[in-house]
């Protein structure tokens, strides 16, 4: 065998070993996230509302028609929601189950669980609108979950799971659209708009500090989407040609900026914590402004029913207007993205804010 051939083989062996080390390192990084733990609203509720008395539900067709087995789980989508895709990308299970779902046990929840409730928000008064699970109750469920973890996994592994898990939150939209902006809202009698933003930010800060005290160290605070471009809000804006409500989008952008400052402050205040802002506004705005660039045809209305105002029980399997191919739509109903859009949103978060948890 010639010297040139030997050198080439040696080089290829070295490159193979380097690539192996890089791949194994990447896998180990992913496996350093033992669980995904979720708090929030309908954007991340996998069916908790199925087990409480509320009309804020989606455990019926055509919801879930593109989920595995075509099952309407209670997710407000035709398929999966962002946290499902995030869990899968972290090397965990392809879905994050609802805490109240009796199909699952602590063995399932040990690698992922959502306490989220559709219709909820930071503000307790928001949860009262549809009688759903408020944030304080989600926190109580989390404490209960911790106790079960210790019993099931033992103290050492439970503590490692709690500290190494990624905590995802997604809420705030309902606080504005289903609470503050509604007629006869008592919050508008108490606060002007800027004061209400600060009120919500104080709750967000308090929440992070509480789960930090309980052991959480990797936390993602979810920002607001372009609220004024949700099909429901565009429909309500018919006097302006059903354009996006820019005033609502401005509120979302400003709140996200303030949330970003809160994240900076929390990282300075709390030892050993890593808080990030996962802001869905830019990527969802891209999907709305340039749908064809992502393979969508429709961004102004949803797939289900007319797509203009229906969600929940108004979006049922008997409506003749429901589209045949949800992948052509950015929105599934008048408020929530499709499975395809959720995948794209989750991927953007993984490439940006959530990538910090893989280092």
Assign 3-class secondary structure to 159-200.
HHHHHHCEEEEECCHHHHHHHHCCCCCHHHHHCCHHHHHHHH
The percent of residues above 90 in pLDDT, for the chain, comes to: 90
Average pLDDT estimate for 57-72: 97
- The per-residue pLDDT for range 328-338, each reduced to its tens digit, is 999 999 999 99
Which band of pLDDT confidence, cut at 50, 70 and 90, is reported for residue 2? low
Average pLDDT estimate for 131-137: 98
pLDDT value at residue 358: 82
Average pLDDT estimate for 337-356: 97
pLDDT at 14 over 50: no
pLDDT at 27 over 70: no
Q: Smallest Cα–Cα separation from 75: which of 302, 337, 343?
A: 337
Tokens of 222: 């979810």
pLDDT value at residue 359: 66
pLDDT value at residue 108: 97
CA distance 102 to 150: 20
CA distance 325 to 322: 9
Of 9-18, 34-43, 81-90, 322-331, the range with the lowest mean pLDDT is: 9-18
CA distance 122 to 20: 45
pLDDT value at residue 184: 85
Of 104-108, 119-123, 181-185, 273-277, the range with the lowest mean pLDDT is: 181-185
pLDDT value at residue 12: 45
Distances (CA, A) of 50 to 16, 20, 47, 72: 51, 45, 5, 11
CA distance 103 to 52: 16
CB 159 within 8 A of CB 214: no
Q: What is the mean pLDDT of the chain?
A: 92
Report, as residue numbers or ranges, the catalytic residues. 42, 333, 336
Which band of pLDDT confidence, cut at 50, 70 and 90, is reported for residue 10? very low
Per-residue DSSP letter, 291: G
Average pLDDT estimate for 128-151: 98
CA distance 297 to 101: 35
Which band of pLDDT confidence, cut at 50, 70 and 90, is reported for residue 20? very low
Q: Residue 219: enclosing H or E segment and its boundaries?
A: strand 218-222
Which band of pLDDT confidence, cut at 50, 70 and 90, is reported for residue 31? low
pLDDT at 24 over 50: no
CB 359 within 8 A of CB 29: yes
Per-residue DSSP letter, 148: H
Could you identify the residue written with the tokens 């989600």? 138
pLDDT at 9 over 80: no
Average pLDDT estimate for 225-245: 96
Q: Long-range contacts made by residues 68-75, C-beta under 8 angstroms, separation at least 24? A: 73/46, 73/47, 73/98, 74/45, 74/46, 74/47, 74/48, 74/49, 74/50, 74/98, 74/118, 75/45, 75/46, 75/47
- The per-residue pLDDT for range 253-297, each reduced to its tens digit, is 999 999 999 999 999 999 999 999 999 999 999 999 999 999 999
pLDDT at 26 over 80: no
Q: Is 237 helix (H, G, I), strand (E, B) or coil?
A: coil
Of 46-55, 76-85, 170-179, 183-192, the range with the lowest mean pLDDT is: 183-192
pLDDT at 8 over 90: no
CA distance 289 to 249: 14
Which band of pLDDT confidence, cut at 50, 70 and 90, is reported for residue 183? confident
CB within 8 A of 111, min separation 6: which ones? 34, 35, 36, 87, 92, 93
CA distance 11 to 135: 57
Q: Smallest Cα–Cα separation from 281: which of 172, 120, 202?
A: 172
pLDDT at 187 over 90: yes
Q: Smallest Cα–Cα separation from 223: which of 262, 270, 192?
A: 262
pLDDT at 80 over 70: yes
Which band of pLDDT confidence, cut at 50, 70 and 90, is reported for residue 37? very high
């Amino acid at each position: 065998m010639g010297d040139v051939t030997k050198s080439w083989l040696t080089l290829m062996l070295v490159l193979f070993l380097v690539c192996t080390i890089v791949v194994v390192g990447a896998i180990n990084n992913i496996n350093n996230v033992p669980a995904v733990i979720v708090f929030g609203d309908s954007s991340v509720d996998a069916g908790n509302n199925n087990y409480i008395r509320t009309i804020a539900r989606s455990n019926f067709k055509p919801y879930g028609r593109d989920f595995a087995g075509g099952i309407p789980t209670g997710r407000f989508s035709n398929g999966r929601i962002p946290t499902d895709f995030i869990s899968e990308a972290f090397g965990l299970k392809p879905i994050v189950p609802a805490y109240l779902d009796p199909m699952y046990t602590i063995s399932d929840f040990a690698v992922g669980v959502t306490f989220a409730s559709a219709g909820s928000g930071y503000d307790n008064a928001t949860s009262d609108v549809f009688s759903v699970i408020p944030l304080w109750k989600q926190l109580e469920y989390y404490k209960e979950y911790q106790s079960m973890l210790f019993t099931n996994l033992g103290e050492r592994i439970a503590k490692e799971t709690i500290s190494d898990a990624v905590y995802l939150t997604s809420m705030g939209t309902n606080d504005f659209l289903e609470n503050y902006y509604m007629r006869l809202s008592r919050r508008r009698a108490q606060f002007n708009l800027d004061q209400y933003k600060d009120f919500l930010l104080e709750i967000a800060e308090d929440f992070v500090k509480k789960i930090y005290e309980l052991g959480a160290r990797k936390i993602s605070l979810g920002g607001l989407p372009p609220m004024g471009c949700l099909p429901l809000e565009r429909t309500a804006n018919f006097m302006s040609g059903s354009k996006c409500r820019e005033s609502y989008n401005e509120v979302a952008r400003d709140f996200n900026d303030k949330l970003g400052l809160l994240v900076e402050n929390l990282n300075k205040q709390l030892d050993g914590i890593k808080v990030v802002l996962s802001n869905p506004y830019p990527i969802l705005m891209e999907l709305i402004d340039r749908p064809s660039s992502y393979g969508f045809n429709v961004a102004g209305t949803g797939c289900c029913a007319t797509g203009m105002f229906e969600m929940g029980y108004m979006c049922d399997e008997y409506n003749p207007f429901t589209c045949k191919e949800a992948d052509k739509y950015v929105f599934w109903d008048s408020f929530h993205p499709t499975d395809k859009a959720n995948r794209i949103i989750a991927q953007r978060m993984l490439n940006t804010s959530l990538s910090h948890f893989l280092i």
